[in-house]
C-alpha cells in the first residue's frame, strides 16, 4: 500500500492571489511568512463574503446537542427515503456512469488531500485539556499514524487505483475550500472561534456522504474512504459529538462569550464556499470531458502517429495538431465507422485499439480516461442497460458485483489480518519505538531515523511533543516520518 504523499507544486503556486496558488503555497512543510499572511487575508475576505448568509445553528450553544441529534435524525430519514426509492426502481441519484463518479473523485481531490487541515493549529495547545476533543479529531483524520487509516493516504490510493491523478491542474474553483482549510489550520491564533465553528459544520454527517458511498459501491469503486467518514462522524461517539464537545469546552467562562459564539457561527458558514459534492456532480458533462481529455493528449499524440491512415481526408497527426478540432475528429471517426456510438464499446474499432489483446494503444490512456471513452461510446446503450431488471444487458457485459461483494469473496479466500491494540507507553518507551535498537539502517528509513535522532536530543516531554507537532503538518503527516510522528504524538497525548 502507498505510504507517502508529497504534494506536487505547480508553477502557479507562486501566485498567492488565487485559491490554487495559495493552496500549494500553504501545502508546504513550513509555509513562508508571505503565504501565511496571504492565508489570513484570504480568510478575512471569505468571512466577509459569507457574513450575510443564513446560519442554521441554534441561537444558544447550550442547544447544540439537541440540534445535532435533530440534524442526524433528519439525515437518517432522508437516507432511508432514498433507499426506498432505489428499491422501487429509481436510478442512481448522483452518478449516471462510472466515469461520472471518477470525475467527482478527481474534482474533490484538492479538498480531500488536506483532510483535517483546519485543526492543525490546535496541536500547539496539546497540553490544554479544553482542546483535547478537537485534537483527537485531527489525529483520527490522520489515522493515528496508521497508513491504512490516514485519510489523505486512503484518498491518494483511491485516485491512483482509477487513474485519477493530475488533479493539481484543476481550475481555481476546485481549490477554494482546500485553500480555506489550510488558511484556518495556519491561522488558529487569530481565528480560533472560526476554526471551531468550521469544524462543527464539517463534522456533521451529511446526506450526500451516505448516498455517495452507496453509489460508488454499486459502480465497483471502493467506498471505504467515504464509509470511514460515515462511521467516524457519527453523532453518538464520533466526530460530530466531539465537535460539539469541542465547542462547549472552548466557550469562554470569562469575557465576551456572545462575541465568541458569533465568530463561531461565521466559521460555520465557511463550509458553504467552494465546489461542494453536489455542485461538482452537477457540473459533469461527458461530451466536454472527453473532448478536453483528448485535446490535452494531443500535445504529445500529434507527433507519434504514422501517416498511412487518413480519416476524413486528414492524418491523425494533422487532426491532433489542432486541439480545437477534436470534436470534428471524433465526428470523423464516427462517420467512418471507427466509433459506433450507443453500442457496446467492443463493437468499435477505435476501442479495440485501446483495450484488448495486442491493443496498439495500450498504456496511452489512464484508467479514468479509458472509462470516459468507454461511457461516451456506450452512450444510451449503457444507460438503458442500467434500467433493465436482473442485470440483463442485451449485448453489454453482465452487471458486475459491487465493490464490497468482491471484497467479501477475496476475504473468504485469503482471510483477514488481525490487528491488536496497544497500550499508551511512557516517554522512554515511545521514543525507543521510534527507532528500535539493533535494527539495521536503510536508505528507505532515513527520514524516520532522522526523526528519532531529533526526538532523542530533546530535553523533556514538552520539547518532544513540540518537535512532533511540526511533523504533523498538512504537508507532512502522510510521509513515513509523519506517520511515525503521529503514532508517537497520539500515544504520548493519551
pLDDT of residue 298: 86
| Cβ atoms 302, 322 nearer than 8 A | no
Q: What would the pLDDT profile of 170-179 be if each residue is shown by its tens digit?
A: 999 999 999 9
Q: What would the pLDDT profile of 435-470 be if each residue is shown by its tens digit?
A: 555 455 677 788 888 999 999 999 999 999 999 999
Q: What is the dihedral of CA 366, 371, 374, 375, to 10 degrees?
A: -150
Q: What whole-number distance in Å separates Cα of residue 32 and Cα of residue 455?
A: 24
* Mean pLDDT to the nearest integer, 410-422: 53
HSE-up of residue 287 (Cα within 13 Å, Cβ side):
6
Question: What pLDDT band is residue 302 in, cutting at 50, 70 and 90?
Answer: confident
Beta bridge partners of 311: 314
Question: What pLDDT band is residue 300 in, cutting at 50, 70 and 90?
Answer: confident
Question: What pLDDT band is residue 393 in, cutting at 50, 70 and 90?
Answer: very low
Listed in sequence order, the residues at least 6 apart from 319 whose beta carbon sits closer than 8 Å to its beta carbon are 311, 312, 325, 326, 328, 329, 332
Q: Which of 188-192, 302-306, 378-382 has the lowest average pLDDT?
A: 302-306
Element (H, E) at 375: helix 367-378
DSSP state of 238: S
Q: What whole-number distance in Å separates Cα of residue 1 and Cα of residue 478?
A: 13
User: Which residue would you say has higher pLDDT here, 280 or 409?
Assistant: 280
pLDDT of residue 431: 61
Q: What would the pLDDT profile of 36-46 be if each residue is shown by its tens digit?
A: 999 999 999 99
Q: What whole-number distance in Å separates Cα of residue 322 and Cα of residue 336?
A: 20
Q: What whole-number distance in Å separates Cα of residue 110 and Cα of residue 89?
A: 34
Q: What would the pLDDT profile of 239-298 be if each residue is shown by its tens digit?
A: 999 999 999 999 998 778 899 999 999 999 999 999 999 999 999 999 999 999 999 988
* Mean pLDDT to the nearest integer, 99-106: 98
Question: What pLDDT band is residue 392 in, cutting at 50, 70 and 90?
Answer: very low
Q: What whole-number distance in Å separates Cα of residue 473 and Cα of residue 225?
A: 21
pLDDT of residue 418: 47
* Mean pLDDT to the nearest integer, 85-106: 97
pLDDT of residue 299: 83
User: Buried b vs exposed e over 441-476: b needs ≥16 C-beta within 10 Å?
Assistant: eeeebebbbebbebbeebeeeeebbebbbebbbbbb
Quote the distance between the C-alpha of residue 2 and its chain's center: 15
pLDDT of residue 403: 73
Closest CA to 468 of 5, 24, 120: 120
**Cα separations (Å) of 476 from 9, 155, 159, 202, 401?**
14, 15, 19, 22, 37
Question: What pLDDT band is residue 391 in, cutting at 50, 70 and 90?
Answer: very low
CB-count exposure of residue 387 (10 Å: 0-12, 13-18, 19+): exposed
Q: What whole-number distance in Å separates Cα of residue 434 and Cα of residue 302?
A: 52
DSSP state of 287: H
DSSP state of 310: E
**Other CB atoms closer than 10 Å to residue 49's CB: what's the count?**
13
Q: Which of 83-87, 365-369, 436-440 has the lowest average pLDDT?
A: 436-440
From first CA to last CA, the distance across the chain in angstroms is 28
Taking the whole predicted model, whether its pTM rises above 0.75 is answered as yes
Question: What pLDDT band is residue 17 in, cutting at 50, 70 and 90?
Answer: very high
Q: Classify 311 as helix, strand or coil.
A: strand
Listed in sequence order, the residues at least 6 apart from 262 whose beta carbon sits closer than 8 Å to its beta carbon are none
pLDDT of residue 23: 98
Asked whether residue 61 carries a pLDDT value surpassing 90, the answer given is yes
Q: What would the pLDDT profile of 326-358 be if each residue is shown by its tens digit?
A: 999 999 999 999 999 999 999 999 999 999 778
pLDDT of residue 209: 97
pLDDT of residue 394: 34
Element (H, E) at 203: none
> In 388-445, which ranges are continuous DSSP H helix?
403-414, 427-434
Residue 322 has φ and ψ, to the nearest 5°, of -125, 90
pLDDT of residue 308: 75
Amino acid at each position: 500500500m502507498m505510504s507517502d504523499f508529497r504534494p506536487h507544486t505547480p508553477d502557479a503556486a507562486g501566485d498567492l492571489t488565487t485559491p490554487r496558488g495559495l493552496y500549494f503555497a500553504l501545502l508546504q512543510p513550513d509555509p513562508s511568512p508571505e503565504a501565511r499572511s496571504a492565508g489570513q487575508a484570504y480568510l478575512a475576505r471569505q468571512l466577509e463574503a459569507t457574513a450575510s448568509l443564513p446560519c442554521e445553528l441554534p441561537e444558544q450553544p447550550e442547544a447544540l446537542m439537541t440540534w445535532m441529534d435533530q440534524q442526524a435524525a433528519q439525515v437518517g430519514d432522508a437516507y432511508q427515503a432514498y433507499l426506498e426509492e432505489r428499491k422501487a426502481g429509481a436510478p442512481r441519484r448522483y452518478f449516471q456512469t462510472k466515469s461520472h463518479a471518477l470525475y467527482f473523485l478527481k474534482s474533490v481531490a484538492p479538498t480531500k488531500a488536506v483532510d483535517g487541515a483546519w485543526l492543525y493549529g490546535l496541536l500547539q495547545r496539546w497540553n490544554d485539556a479544553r482542546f483535547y476533543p478537537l485534537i483527537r479529531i485531527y489525529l483520527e483524520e490522520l489515522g493515528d499514524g496508521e497508513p491504512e487509516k490516514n485519510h489523505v493516504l486512503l484518498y491518494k490510493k483511491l485516485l491512483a487505483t482509477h487513474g485519477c491523478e493530475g488533479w493539481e491542474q484543476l481550475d481555481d474553483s476546485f481549490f477554494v475550500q482546500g485553500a480555506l482549510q489550510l488558511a484556518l489550520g495556519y491561522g488558529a491564533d487569530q481565528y480560533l472561534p472560526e476554526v471551531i465553528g468550521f469544524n462543527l459544520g464539517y463534522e456533521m454527517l451529511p446526506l450526500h456522504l451516505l448516498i455517495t458511498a452507496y453509489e460508488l459501491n454499486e459502480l465497483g469503486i471502493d467506498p471505504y474512504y467515504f464509509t470511514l467518514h460515515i462511521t467516524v462522524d457519527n453523532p453518538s461517539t464520533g466526530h460530530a459529538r466531539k465537535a460539539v464537545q469541542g465547542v462547549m469546552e472552548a466557550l469562554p467562562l470569562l469575557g465576551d462569550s456572545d462575541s465568541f459564539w458569533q465568530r463561531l457561527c461565521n466559521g460555520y458558514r465557511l463550509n458553504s464556499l467552494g465546489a461542494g459534492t453536489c455542485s461538482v456532480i452537477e457540473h459533469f458533462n461527458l461530451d466536454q470531458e472527453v473532448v478536453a481529455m483528448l485535446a490535452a493528449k494531443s500535445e504529445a499524440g500529434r507527433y507519434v502517429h504514422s501517416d498511412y491512415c487518413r480519416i476524413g481526408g486528414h492524418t491523425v497527426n494533422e487532426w491532433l495538431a489542432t486541439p480545437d478540432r477534436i470534436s470534428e475528429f471524433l465526428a470523423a471517426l464516427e462517420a467512418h465507422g471507427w466509433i459506433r456510438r450507443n453500442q457496446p464499446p467492443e463493437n468499435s474499432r477505435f476501442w479495440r485499439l485501446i483495450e484488448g489483446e495486442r491493443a496498439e494503444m495500450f498504456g496511452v490512456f489512464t484508467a479514468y480516461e479509458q472509462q470516459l471513452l468507454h461511457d461516451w461510446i456506450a452512450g444510451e446503450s449503457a444507460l438503458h442497460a442500467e434500467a433493465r431488471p436482473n442485470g440483463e444487458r442485451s449485448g453489454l457485459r453482465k452487471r458486475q458485483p459491487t465493490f464490497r461483494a468482491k471484497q467479501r469473496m477475496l476475504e473468504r479466500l485469503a482471510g483477514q489480518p488481525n490487528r491488536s491494540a496497544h497500550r499508551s507507553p511512557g516517554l522512554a518507551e515511545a521514543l525507543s519505538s521510534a527507532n528500535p535498537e539493533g535494527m539495521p539502517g536503510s536508505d528507505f528509513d532515513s527520514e524516520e531515523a532522522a526523526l528519532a535522532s531529533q526526538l532523542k536530543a530533546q530535553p523533556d516531554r514538552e520539547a518532544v511533543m513540540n518537535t512532533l507537532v511540526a511533523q504533523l503538518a498538512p504537508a507532512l503527516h502522510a510521509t513515513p516520518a509523519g506517520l511515525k510522528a503521529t503514532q508517537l504524538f497520539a500515544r504520548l497525548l493519551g
